Amino acid sequence: MIRETNAKVVLQKSRLPESPYCLNPYVGCTHRCSYCYARFMRRFTGHSEPWGSFVDVKVNAPDVLSRQLARTQISGPVLIGSVCDAYQPVEKRYGLTRVCIKQLVANDIPFSVLTKSRLVLRDLDIIRMAGKNASVGISIAMLDDSIRRNFEPGASAIQDRLNTLEELHKNGVQTYVFIGPILPKITNIQAIIDATGSFVDEVWGEALNMRCGNRADLVEAYTSSGLSCEWQQLAKSEQFWKEMATTLTQACQSANLRQVGFYRH
Ligand code: SF4
We report the CATH number of the domain holding residue 75 as: 3.20.20.70
Q: What are phi and psi of 204, to 5 degrees?
A: -115, 150
For the chain, what is the domain count?
1
85 Cβ inside 6 Å of ligand 1: yes
Instruction: Find the 120 Cα to ligand 1 centroid distance in Å.
Output: 15
In this predicted structure, what is the pLDDT of residue 34? 97
Instruction: Find the 115 Cα to ligand 1 centroid distance in Å.
Output: 8
Q: What is the pTM for the complete model shown?
A: 0.96
Range of the domain at 143: 2-263
29 Cβ inside 6 Å of ligand 1: yes
Residue type, 143: L
Instruction: Find the 149 Cα to ligand 1 centroid distance in Å.
Output: 14
* Rounded Cα gap, residues 222 and 186, in angstroms: 9
pLDDT in tens, the chain (265 residues): 999 999 999 999 998 878 899 999 999 999 999 999 999 887 778 888 999 999 999 999 999 999 999 998 887 899 999 999 999 999 999 999 999 999 999 999 999 999 999 999 999 999 999 999 999 999 999 999 999 999 999 999 999 999 999 999 999 999 999 999 999 999 999 999 999 999 999 999 999 999 889 999 999 999 999 998 899 999 999 999 999 999 999 999 999 999 998 988 7
* Rounded Cα gap, residues 223 and 226, in angstroms: 5
**Where would I find the H helices in 121-254?**
124-129, 145-151, 158-170, 189-196, 215-224, 230-236, 238-254
User: Who's near 1: CB < 8 A, 6+ residues apart?
Assistant: 49, 53, 54, 55
In this predicted structure, what is the pLDDT of residue 187? 98
**Where would I find the H helices in 95-157?**
96-106, 124-129, 145-151
